[in-house]
A and B are shown apart, each in its own frame.
Chain A
Amino acid sequence: MFQNIGEMVLLFWRTLQALPLLWRQRDKVFEQFFEIGNASLLMVSVLAFFLGGVLALQTGPTMVERGLHNFVGGLVGISIARELAPIMMAILIAGRIGSAMAAEIGSMRVYQEIDALRTMNINPIHYLVLPRVVAVAIALPMLVTFAILVGWLGGAVVAQATSEIDISMQSFFENMKIMVELKDVVNGVFKSFCFALIIGVVACHQGLVTRGGPRGIGRSVTKAVVNAIVLIVMFDYVLTRILLTLGKFGIV
């Protein structure tokens, strides 16, 4: 993976350079955007709901036991917004959409479709990479915003329904309102935007360097998903550090 970092950075740079051509590719961006949103919304909802629920279930009883019931909503709210929703949704999209991108572009590479594009003087970065990276960079932050809301709802439902916690939905959200700030949500959404770029670039890069037949495509898909997840987790730490430092100075 690490020997390809340079190639991926170059691909990202070339994609950025192609941004002025985005309007030309708007149909493909919408197509990809619909594909990502439509294919993932239900999964995102289910995952986020249970994520919020399990977080409330794990932390709620212990906190209530120690008289910290006023903090359950805030803890679930902040954890979901700042960390769990961005990273879990990014992993979901890396698996669902990153794999599809790598498979599609990889198969185009193996079956000479990308060569055909090049002979027609059509740049594969403009035609294939740009719409995918832009679509996932728009879709993932939107999905994460949605996931944060659903995750909060999941936490609130579980907090009310579990006898060991027994916090009403109203108190859960009131407590959350006191502790969670808009910047927590913005931080999470910003991180998801960075993760989306990683997913798009890694998946497209793996697709473009695919060699061999169906086995090569399979290998590329696996590498795309694994590499994207590893990079997402690594970047998550770096971004969290940066955002916390900026937060200390009151910048974010």
Chain B
Amino acid sequence: MNDTAPNHHGVSVQVRGVRRSFGTQEVLKGIDLEVKPGEIFVIMGPSGSGKSVLLRHIIGLEPPDAGEILVNGESIHTADLATKYRMAMVFQSGALLNSITVGENIGLYLTEHRLKKPEEIARIVSEKLEVVGLKGTEAKFPSELSGGMKKRAAIARALVIEPQLILYDEPTSELDPLSSIVIGDEILKLNKRIGVTSLVVSHDRDLAFGIADRIAVIHEGQIVALGAPDEVKRSNHPIIREFIHADFKREK
């Protein structure tokens, strides 16, 4: 996406009373939240708290047992929603297709939906790769990229869609601090440039407080705090205090 690209308007997301169980284990216990258009909303919480499951529900990969998810007021499971609103997800592992090249991965959406001519797609792919700092990697296969590069390639793939809603699943996990900052900056820049609504799931406290407009803290399938980063920081909820201030206890 270059600086002259049109300013796309993000979409709103409403999650209402979403419940989901796997077998006897209830993973989501009635989640309610609303993400405003163009907002960077971070869902934070310890591992196993149900963050990624919630994200999969929001993009429509999983059906909830109860409750509903609305995008601009329309159910995520509406038949033509995916054609009406452009949505993208950056998976924790990147989820690049391993049998095709990085370039083919990035251009996959345009190729499969026949939105542009091949030479135009090649130009866009190289442009997006440059945006995420992966210029010249078109011909490489995903297996030839490092973990951080795969994540950035996955972001480039999401950018090609020119999304109105972008979901990031643990975008900085397995990354060194410097790469985490690069990814966090990309999320911020993208949000500023195209006004995309960003929903980020992470247990990375630095990322969450660094980029979020609002944060929801989820614990054992329930939201225990929701608000601006400062409000969450000031919360006296014991679980949030423990999560935010967790540190090593080294004997002196």
CB neighbors of B among A67-121 (8 A): 104, 107-108, 111-113, 115-121
Contact between B61 and A118, CB atoms less than 8 A apart: yes
B59 at the A interface (CB under 8 A): yes
A190 at the interface (CB under 8 A from B): no
Is A122 engaged at the interface, CB distance under 8 Å to the other chain?
Answer: yes
Interface: B109 (CB within 8 A): yes
Most buried by B among A107, A112, A118, A122: A112
A116's partner among B82, B83, B97 (CB-CB below 8 A) is B97
Inter-subunit contact B98/A119 (CB<8 Å): no
B201 at the interface (CB under 8 A from A): no
A116-B109 CB under 8 A given contacts A111-B98, A121-B83: no
The answer, among B56, B61, B82, B157, for a CB contact under 8 Å with A121, is B82
B23 smallest CB distance to A (angstroms): 13
Against B, the Cβ 8 Å flags (1 = close, 0 = not) of A116-146 are 1111111000010000000000000000000
Inside 8 A of B87's CB, which chain A residues have their CB?
119
A183 part of interface (Cβ distance < 8 Å): no
- In the bound complex, how far is the Cα of B146 from the Cα of A235, in angstroms? 48
Q: From A24, A112, A121, give the contact of B95 (CB < 8 A).
A: A112
CB pair A127–B112 under 8 Å, yes or no, is: yes
Residues of A contacting B: mostly: helix
Please give, as numbers and ranges, the residues of chain A lying within 8 Å of B112 by CB-CB distance.
120, 122, 127
What's the nearest-Cβ distance from chain B to residue A212, in Å?
14
Instruction: Number of A interface residues at 8 Å Cβ cutoff, please give it.
Output: 16
Residues of B with C-beta under 8 A to A104: 99
B131 at the interface (CB under 8 A from A): no
> Is B194 interfacial (CB-CB < 8 Å)?
no
Contact of A112 among B82, B91, B108 (CB under 8 A): B91
Q: Which residues of A have CB within 8 Å of B113?
A: 121-122
Is A113 a contact of B59 with CB atoms below 8 Å? Answer: no
Q: What is the total number of residues of chain B having a CB less than 8 Å from a CB of chain A?
A: 23
Cβ contacts under 8 Å, A117 to chain B: 97
Judge whether B82 and A115 touch: CB under 8 Å.
Answer: no
Q: Assess the B95–A113 pair: CB atoms within 8 A.
A: yes
Let me know if B93 is at the binding interface, CB within 8 A: yes
A-chain residues with CB within 8 Å of residue B93 when the two chains form the complex: 111-112
Whether, in the assembled complex, B88 has its beta carbon less than 8 Å from a beta carbon of chain A, the answer is: yes
In the bound complex, residues from chain B placing their C-beta under 8 Å from that of A118 are 60-61
Q: Let me know if B114 is at the binding interface, CB within 8 A.
A: yes
Q: How far is the CB of A21 from chain B (nearest CB, A)?
A: 10
Query: Within the complex, what minimum Cβ distance (angstroms) separates A175 from chain B?
Result: 49
By a CB distance below 8 angstroms, the chain B residues around A111 are: 93, 95, 98
- Determine if B161 is an interface residue (Cβ-Cβ < 8 Å): yes
Residue of A24, A115, A121 most packed against chain B (CB within 10 A): A121
CA distance A208 to B29 in the complex (A): 29
Q: Give chain A residues whose Cβ lies under 8 Å from the Cβ of B69.
A: none
- Taking CB atoms and an 8 Å cut-off, the chain B residues in 150-194 that contact chain A are 157, 161
Please report the C-alpha to C-alpha distance between residue A108 and residue B108 in the assembled complex, in whole angstroms: 15
* B89, CB-defined interface residue at 8 Å: yes
- B interface residues (Cβ-Cβ under 8 A, vs A): 56, 59-61, 82-83, 87-89, 91, 93, 95-99, 108-109, 112-114, 157, 161
Which residues does A use to contact B, with CB under 8 Å? 24, 104, 107-108, 111-113, 115-122, 127
Apart from A108-B97, A111-B95, A111-B98: 14 A-B pairs, beta carbons within 8 A = A104-B99, A112-B93, A113-B95, A115-B61, A115-B91, A116-B89, A117-B97, A119-B88, A120-B112, A120-B157, A120-B161, A122-B108, A122-B113, A127-B112
